[in-house]
Amino acid sequence: MSTTFERLCAILVKEHQLGPERLTLQAPLDSLGIDSLGTVELLWNVETAFKIKLPTDPVGLVTLADVVRFVDELAAAQGVQPAAAPVSAPVFAPAPAPASASASAAQPAAPPLHSAQRAPAA
């Protein structure tokens, strides 16, 4: 069984390509290169990995200890065992294009024409 901090570290190593030696409870998120958008991405990954529901209200998370405490409190309030699941992090990557797709299929479709516009001559 792993701790919330260990699972959080696994997510940060995998999704944010951070070296494990940089990850301490006292580490400020901004010193790890995690800005406000990065925090949102981290919390999406945490929500999925820990099977918890995050509130919609903004939360002030400054250090990794703040994130661990936040996750543990949410998990306890929601009746989830935060350290019971295996260490894993979701992977959000676009699906590869099918091998049989032609070059013309890879081009984006033209936007629809307005009623006053005419299609270009082919």
- pLDDT tens-digit profile, the chain (122 residues): 468 999 999 999 998 899 999 999 999 999 999 998 999 999 999 999 989 999 888 888 999 999 999 999 999 998 887 554 444 444 434 445 555 555 555 555 555 555 555 656 65
Can you tell me which residue has the tokens 């890879």? Answer: 106
Which CATH architecture does the domain made up of 4-77 adopt? Orthogonal Bundle (1.10)
Can you give the residue ranges of every domain in the chain?
4-77
Can you tell me which residue has the tokens 């006292």? Answer: 26
Asked if residues 5 and 61 have their Cβ atoms less than 8 Å apart, the reply is no
Burial 110-121 (b: 16+ CB within 10 A, else e): eeeeeeeeeeee
